[in-house]
């Protein structure tokens, strides 16, 4: 049995052992479970949520970041607290992504102590500064997250290797208000992405439509395909993961929270991804539940 299988087996055992019962211990009298298994500390292994969505999906659902997200999502949280929380969350998320997904090299870098001892040299690994990255702002909600990530990239990479692109997008809905796709109606991009790492810092991973539209835009450019595509979300839904991985199975997904709040009670007691067809995180208008509302509106104080 592989390490991943052992983690899943242990997670299943934790779920069974931690079932919530009524006051007399009768499962039939159990109230609705107030905490999704995916939000509980025992569901983590090495800082990541144990799930069955496959490799390349990283839900970093630790209590600290869940606390920040709870504040960000709260109805009474407004500016300037909103932008501060988004900035703090994305500074942490980009740090995780850079340390895990970008290539590393060994360096010998003299420190200030070299004036006192020949051993004043850092010999170790750093992120390879020659890595080429394109950070994509999907307006509106992605504007602030992309800027945070762009700044972080410029600190550890050669700034000449870092680029920030801008796509102006919106959801396309039908007469019933159902989301049927996404539309790019403006762009300011720097050209080809062949051999580069593409990053999409966009807070809400709801349906995956905007991300898939953006990826298709870049794949249709001349100059070759990106080396890697990374989605960097604060909250994702099971629908987002399913839709994205079905069309772009190599996309790497990072998020702090998985929301499947409209799933049946018994599903909330299972390891995420066990019954994907029964996991529901979107309402009839494709907004995330419990979610955080329309963050593009909240960040910009424009409720249209």
Query: pLDDT above 70 covers what percent of the chain?
Result: 89
pLDDT of residue 123: 98
| 89 and 68 Cβ atoms separated by less than 8 Å | yes
- Note if the bond before 71 is cis, omega within 30 degrees: no
DSSP 8-state assignment for residue 34? S
Instruction: Return the closest-CA partner of residue 73 out of 82, 64, 65.
Output: 82
Measured between alpha carbons, how far is 112 from 120 in angstroms, rounded to an integer? 7
pLDDT of residue 217: 96
DSSP-assigned letters across all residues of 124-175: EEEE-TT--EEEEEEETTTHHHHHHHHHHHHHHS-GGGEEEEEEEEEEEE-T
In a domain, 124, yes or no: no
Average pLDDT over residues 46-69: 96
Q: pLDDT class for 25, splitting at 50, 70, 90?
A: very low
In a domain, 119, yes or no: no
pTM equals: 0.88
Domain count, the chain: 1
* pLDDT at 11 > cutoff 60: no
Mean pLDDT of the chain: 90
In a domain, 115, yes or no: no
Average pLDDT over residues 229-235: 98
In a domain, 116, yes or no: no
Average pLDDT over residues 164-178: 83
* pLDDT at 30 > cutoff 80: no
Give tens-digit pLDDT for 178-216: 777 788 989 999 999 999 999 999 999 999 999 999 999
What is the separation of C-alpha 76 from the centre of its chain, rounded to a whole number of angstroms? 24
DSSP 8-state assignment for residue 282? B
Per the document, the length of the chain is: 304
Instruction: Return the closest-CA partner of residue 236 out of 216, 213, 219, 253.
Output: 253
pLDDT of residue 169: 87
* pLDDT at 6 > cutoff 80: no
What is the separation of C-alpha 180 from the centre of its chain, rounded to a whole number of angstroms? 22
* pLDDT at 93 > cutoff 80: yes
CATH of the domain at 230: 3.40.50.2020
Measured between alpha carbons, how far is 42 from 26 in angstroms, rounded to an integer? 23
Measured between alpha carbons, how far is 197 from 195 in angstroms, rounded to an integer? 7
In a domain, 120, yes or no: no
Torsion of the alpha carbons at 234, 239, 241 and 244, rounded to the nearest 10? -110
In a domain, 117, yes or no: no
Residue 42 three-state SS? helix
Average pLDDT over residues 54-64: 97
* pLDDT at 83 > cutoff 80: yes
Can you give the residue range of the structural domain that contains 30?
3-110+129-300
Measured between alpha carbons, how far is 248 from 279 in angstroms, rounded to an integer? 20
- Note if the bond before 140 is cis, omega within 30 degrees: yes
Give tens-digit pLDDT for 173-183: 777 777 777 88
Q: pLDDT class for 8, splitting at 50, 70, 90?
A: low
In a domain, 78, yes or no: yes
User: What is the strand order of the sheet 204-205 is part of?
Assistant: 204-205, 235-236, 257-258
Average pLDDT over residues 12-26: 46
In a domain, 149, yes or no: yes
* pLDDT at 155 > cutoff 70: yes
Buried b (16+ CB within 10 A) or exposed e, 121-139: eeeeeebeeebbbbbbbbb
pLDDT of residue 34: 60
Give tens-digit pLDDT for 242-269: 999 999 999 999 999 999 999 999 999 9
């Amino acid at each position: 049995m592989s390490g991943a299988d052992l983690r899943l087996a242990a997670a299943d055992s934790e779920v069974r052992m931690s079932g919530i019962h009524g006051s007399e211990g009768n499962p039939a009298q159990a109230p609705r479970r107030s905490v999704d298994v995916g939000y509980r500390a025992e569901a983590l292994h090495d800082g990541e949520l144990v799930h069955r969505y496959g490799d390349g999906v990283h839900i970093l659902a630790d209590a600290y970041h869940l606390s920040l997200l709870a504040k960000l999502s709260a109805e009474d949280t407004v500016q300037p607290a909103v932008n501060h929380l988004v900035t703090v969350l994305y500074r942490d998320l980009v740090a995780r992504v850079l340390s895990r997904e970008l290539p590393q090299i060994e360096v010998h870098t003299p420190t200030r102590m070299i004036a006192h001892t020949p051993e004043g040299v850092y010999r170790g690994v750093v992120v390879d500064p020659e890595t080429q990255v394109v950070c994509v702002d999907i307006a509106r909600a992605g504007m602030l997250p992309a800027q945070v990530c762009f700044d972080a990239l410029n600190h550890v990479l050669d700034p000449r290797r870092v680029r920030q692109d801008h796509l102006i997008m919106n959801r396309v809905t039908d007469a019933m208000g159902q989301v049927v796709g996404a539309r790019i109606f403006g762009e300011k991009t720097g050209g080809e992405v062949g051999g580069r790492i593409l990053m999409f810092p966009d807070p809400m991973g709801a349906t995956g439509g905007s991300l898939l539209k953006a990826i298709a835009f870049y794949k249709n450019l001349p100059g070759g395909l990106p080396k890697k595509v990374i989605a960097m979300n604060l909250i994702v839904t099971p629908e987002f993961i399913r839709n994205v991985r079905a069309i772009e199975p190599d996309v790497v997904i990072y998020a702090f929270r998985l929301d499947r709040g409209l799933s049946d009670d018994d599903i909330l007691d299972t390891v995420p991804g066990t019954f994907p067809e029964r996991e529901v995180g979107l309402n009839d208008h494709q907004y995330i539940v419990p979610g955080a509302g329309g963050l593009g509106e909240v960040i910009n104080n424009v409720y249209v």
